[in-house]
Every structure is written in C-alpha cells, then in structure tokens.
Amino acid sequence: MTATYIHPSILSADFVNMQAELERISDADFVHVDVMDNHFVPNLTFGPQMVARIQDVSPVPLDVHLMIDDPERWAPEYAELGAASVTFHAEASADPVALARRLRQIGSAAGVAIKPGTPLEPYLDDLSAFDLVLVMTVEPGFGGQSFMPETMPKLRTLAERARNAGVELRLQVDGGISADTIAIAAENGANTFVAGSAVFGAEHPGAMIGRLRELAAG
Ligand code: DX5
Ligand code: ZN
C-alpha cells in the first residue's frame, strides 16, 4: 500500500495562537501553509517572515502552498527558509519546470498546483520535474468551501499518467476534504490530503487526522 499523507491547513487555525495550534496537529505528516497575495486570489494571509517563524516552532515539516503572482520571485525564499515542499500555481508561473528545478536545487520538494478549470495536458509530459502535483478541489482563496467532484477525472488521468511513466508523485488534493469526501479523492488516485476546516473544526484534531488517514487508506 502506498503511504497516505494528511496535511492540516492552518488557514483554519487561530492565527494569534499559532504555536499552540501547531501543537494540536503534531500527529500530522506535514502542515499546509497557505500563502495568498490578494492578486492571484482574492484573499490575503501572510508572507515569508511569518512562515519562517512557523518553520522555527512547528513540530511537523512545512508544505507551503503559494497562491501568489510571480512565484519566480518568491517561491525560492520559502525553500531557503526550510520548507519541506513548496507548491506554486502553474497559472502564475512563466516556466513551471524551470522553477521546480530551482526549488529542488535549494533543497525543497517542488510542487505545481492547478485550479479546477485549468487543463492538465500542458504539464503531463514533464511530470518527473515535480515531486508533488496539487489538483485543487475548490477555487483557491478560502477555507470551508464544498469539494468539487468534477475535478476527479483530472486527478484520475494524472494518477494513470504518473503510474504509466513510472514517476513517483505525491498527488495532492486541497479544498473541501473531510470524512465525507476523502475516500472519493483517494479512490481517484490522491495520496496527499489537505484538510483545513475538517481538522481545526474538530474537537480533537489529532483524532480527526487519524480518522482521515484510515478513511483514505480504504
Ligand atoms: C484554499 C486553501 C486550502 C484551504 C482548505 O484555497 O488552499 O488549503 O485551507 O480549506 P478546507 O479544507 O476548509 O476546504
Ligand atoms: Zn492550500
């Protein structure tokens, strides 16, 4: 069985108690850190200074999701501060393969994300350039939205292409992942699951992480 990774998203955490919130999810595999610039998406979170402090205090490694314009300018900074993986949006990047190469050179895993309406085809020939592909299962920008099942054929195609090409990829889904939807995404090939409101909205986030992991494993 392939490994299953649960990444709680701190977008749903209490921002003024971040260190305590990070401790609540210490059972997670990675912590998902949503960086938004109010240009690429209509919402704003935080930048490298905040993420560097999260990196200092987090008990689990960081998975940074950049929902920003000009990732060529900013993504390397997140790799340099020690994030385990840095994922930028294909729609915002002039040359996703070149940027992924740069992130790997710095020492982080390289991820590329695509919005629900973005076709996969332009990226399928270069899958080995990436360690992670994020198929957004909501329009990026906000937590607490409903999972979009119409994104599943794209995920399935991606999983098949990666398997056929012998490329080991983390196939990530983000948006609306909960105990009700995680199995659907897993059946369609996802192995890396971001969950914000489902984990931080639970009374016991650690128990929810365990439950999601079990449901994903089938
Ligand atoms: C949305 C972010 C997500 C968000 C998911 O654009 O990229 O990571 O936190 O939140 P939920 O799990 O509540 O849909
Ligand atoms: Zn995200």
pLDDT in tens, 130-188: 999 999 999 999 999 999 999 999 999 999 999 999 999 999 999 999 999 999 999 99
Q: Which residues surround ligand 2, an ion (CB under 5 A)?
A: 34, 65, 174
Per-position DSSP letters for 71-137, written without gaps between them: HHHHHHHHHHTT-SEEEEEGGG-S-HHHHHHHHHHHTSEEEEEE-TTS-SHHHHTTGGG-SEEEEES
ipTM over 0.90: yes
- Cα distance between residue 171 and residue 185, in whole Å: 10
DSSP 3-state assignment of 58? coil
CA distances from 34 to 68, 93, 104, 166 (A): 10, 17, 20, 30
Given a contact cutoff of 8 angstroms between Cβ atoms, the answer to whether 175 and 145 are in contact is: yes
Task: Indicate the DSSP class of residue 172.
Answer: E
Question: How much is the pLDDT for 2?
Answer: 62
pLDDT score, position 59: 97
| 53-76 burial code (b ≥16 CB/10 A, e <16) | ebbeebebbbbbbbbbbebbebbb
pLDDT confidence of residue 125: 87
- The pLDDT assigned to 3 comes to 83
pLDDT of residue 1: 46
216 C-alpha vs ligand 2 centroid, how far in Å? 18
**Residue-range domain boundaries for the chain:** 5-217
Predicted pLDDT of residue 63: 98
Closest-CA residue, ligand 1 atom 6, reads 140
Cα–Cα distance between 194 and 134 in angstroms, integer? 10
Q: Which of 34, 63, 131, 180 is catalytic?
A: 34
Predicted pLDDT at 147: 98
d(CA 206, CA 14) in angstroms, rounded, equals 16
The residues with which 163 forms a beta bridge, in sequence order, are: none
Residues of the chain with pLDDT under 50: 1
The matching CATH number, chosen from 3.20.20.70, 3.10.105.10, 3.40.640.10, 3.90.1150.10, for 5-217 is 3.20.20.70
So what's the pLDDT on residue 218? Answer: 86
List the catalytic residue out of 29, 63, 131, 174. Answer: 174
- Is 0.95 topped by the overall pTM? yes
70 contact partners, CB below 8 Å, separation of at least 6: 92
